[in-house]
Chains A and B, each alone.
Chain A
């Protein structure tokens, strides 16, 4: 039979061991949670920036498409027969009177 004092010491030592393990687990979990929060912040920040970039690219596409449409209209307008005829008249062009074939 162990003396009472020894049992108490063993019990105390056991409690210290469990306590140490629990503290480590808590520290690890806490670190993981803190790391996760930090990672989330970093990712969220990146995603927010990328969303802004995507919006910028989308706006750029819209702008280019708009310019493209405007230019297409302008080209068609400038090369219309009504415009060409007017320019030909201003430059004193004359209708061909003879047909020349190769």
Chain B
């Protein structure tokens, strides 16, 4: 073979080898789907989306986020035995209620704390001893200071992942209104109850992924694949709630519950012209940060979820209907008010067994006269009265933006009998929610125009802002009727049972209510719901307020429990909003 031939053969060999190399590279690059090794250097980490905050009227955060951490262990990497690790870590992973120093705990609490630590230790030993596991979660939502304390112990095999946790600067303020955040079935933060529950989808945001190639040292490779999906923070809620008003209400409510020995109390304050809720408080309440330590019955918001027989506060609804239809006038005299009345086989009497023959409609409201109200309802009839109850929004949800709102209970019209018409006129035989009652009285305060209540003023995210308005707005009674019933309510305050408690110099419209609680088909004479609903100043209302006590023990009457509380809160509100008294009054 000549030299030239040898060169040609050599060239052919080179071309063939090059072809195979290129073909092989083509195969690996475009045809073969290699998994595993190359993917492992892509840091495809989860980017959690911070949950939106909740602000009050003055943009103060009622709920915000704080840094928290997830703690995990790698059983194979531990440099101490699981028992030692568990003993060191367990005291940090028990309930936060024991976060105070031991000196601040009672003997009983200390005992419970020790028991909890022991149980946690056993749980941790079990988890860390399982050598089949590469990674085990030991705890979540650890505060930053706790994380730093554990880190200082320098235990190899323990690690932390960033997380977030709700923080409540005003502690338990408006807890039932706000709701809380807990884990769902797959361990994701989810809002439950109140605003957290109702607006969960808006608040939670969208988690992202990092999707970045990293070298073996963990540094990002700039020329590598980089496909991050940024997380989107949840939208924040801006409420109509005023934290100062809420603070005043909660303080007064706590004092009142202790003073009157009530089982529970609720206050709602709303602005009648806009339907904005300024305050919504219940006592007893719970701490949303430690919700697991409280009874589940405390989670729901009684202001929207509880139904109760309203009693005499409902008389303003029946009287409004009759006035609006001109069936009665404030000066119309009751010709059946001289004594108890028999209706449908039942005796209707007054609450104090006192009777006022020929009393006017204004006096019927002033004396809270049940017999007088049967006179009104008799003239109204079932159809008209039922229509007005509906018009005022009873028997269905007000549409307030809170998760647990109930509809109340209103029997169908066809089931109503004469006795139902009579008892409903003084608030028995029907069940309403506190928020429905506030909506109805707000209608009177707002010149007969119903504006449905709402708690969120706007929802703001990084790219848009959504204003929230009332869901419903309509005229229910005429302005003239509203003015007439307002005067009746002012008269009830100034001349009624609770007149001694009313602040001087202010025209306040209000009505007391005392309803017995139905138990197994009859009314328990010792258990009542005492309430007071009203608004002030009567001629230009700044607020509508409902105060409701469940089973007060010092006195069963609304005039001796709910009314004084209403006036005590009203005095503070006059100060806060700088509403001066009328010196001539």
Give me the interface of A with B, judged by CB distance under 8 Å.
47-48, 50-52, 54-55, 58, 66, 69-70, 72-73, 76-77, 79-82, 85, 95-96, 99-101
- The contact of A47 among B61, B171, B223, B579, by CB within 8 Å, is B223
Closest 4 CB pairs of A and B: A76-B169, A51-B219, A80-B169, A81-B247
Measured in the bound complex, the distance between the Cα atoms of B534 and A17 in whole Å is: 114
Q: Give 11 A-B pairs besides A50-B222, A79-B60, A82-B171 with Cβ atoms closer than 8 angstroms.
A: A48-B215, A51-B215, A66-B67, A73-B66, A73-B167, A76-B169, A77-B169, A96-B575, A99-B578, A99-B581, A100-B578
Residues of B near A48 (CB, < 8 A) are 215, 219
Give me the interface of B with A, judged by CB distance under 8 Å.
60-61, 64-67, 144, 167, 169-171, 173, 214-215, 218-223, 243-244, 247, 574-575, 578-581
Measured in the bound complex, the distance between the Cα atoms of B169 and A48 in whole Å is: 44
**In the bound complex, do residue B580 and residue A101 qualify as a contact, i.e. CB atoms below 8 Å apart?**
yes
**In the bound complex, do residue A101 and residue B578 qualify as a contact, i.e. CB atoms below 8 Å apart?**
yes
Shortest Cβ distance from residue B173 to the other chain A in the assembled complex, whole angstroms: 8
- 16 intermolecular pairs with C-beta atoms under 8 Å apart: A47-B222, A48-B215, A51-B215, A51-B219, A54-B219, A66-B67, A72-B64, A73-B66, A76-B60, A76-B61, A76-B169, A81-B170, A81-B243, A81-B247, A99-B574, A101-B578
Residues of B near A69 (CB, < 8 A) are 65-67
Shortest Cβ distance from residue B52 to the other chain A in the assembled complex, whole angstroms: 14
**In the bound complex, do residue B221 and residue A76 qualify as a contact, i.e. CB atoms below 8 Å apart?**
no
Residues of A near B574 (CB, < 8 A) are 99
**In the bound complex, do residue B221 and residue A47 qualify as a contact, i.e. CB atoms below 8 Å apart?**
yes
Shortest Cβ distance from residue A101 to the other chain B in the assembled complex, whole angstroms: 5
Measured in the bound complex, the distance between the Cα atoms of B67 and A66 in whole Å is: 7
Shortest Cβ distance from residue A94 to the other chain B in the assembled complex, whole angstroms: 12
Shortest Cβ distance from residue A77 to the other chain B in the assembled complex, whole angstroms: 5
Shortest Cβ distance from residue A100 to the other chain B in the assembled complex, whole angstroms: 8
Measured in the bound complex, the distance between the Cα atoms of B169 and A4 in whole Å is: 109
Measured in the bound complex, the distance between the Cα atoms of B145 and A70 in whole Å is: 11
Measured in the bound complex, the distance between the Cα atoms of B580 and A96 in whole Å is: 13
Residues of B near A85 (CB, < 8 A) are 247
B64, B169, B579, B581, most chain A CB atoms within 10 A? B169
Residues of B near A100 (CB, < 8 A) are 578
Residues of B near A81 (CB, < 8 A) are 170, 173, 243-244, 247
Measured in the bound complex, the distance between the Cα atoms of B407 and A23 in whole Å is: 96
Measured in the bound complex, the distance between the Cα atoms of B247 and A51 in whole Å is: 52
Given A99-B574, A101-B580: A51 in contact with B221 (beta carbons within 8 A): yes
**In the bound complex, do residue A70 and residue B580 qualify as a contact, i.e. CB atoms below 8 Å apart?**
no
Residues of B near A82 (CB, < 8 A) are 170-171
Residues of B near A54 (CB, < 8 A) are 219-220, 222
Residue of B with least CB distance to A69: B67
B171, B215, B220, most chain A CB atoms within 10 A? B220
Measured in the bound complex, the distance between the Cα atoms of B578 and A100 in whole Å is: 7
**In the bound complex, do residue A70 and residue B144 qualify as a contact, i.e. CB atoms below 8 Å apart?**
yes
**In the bound complex, do residue B60 and residue A99 qualify as a contact, i.e. CB atoms below 8 Å apart?**
no
Measured in the bound complex, the distance between the Cα atoms of B173 and A96 in whole Å is: 24
Shortest Cβ distance from residue B502 to the other chain A in the assembled complex, whole angstroms: 17
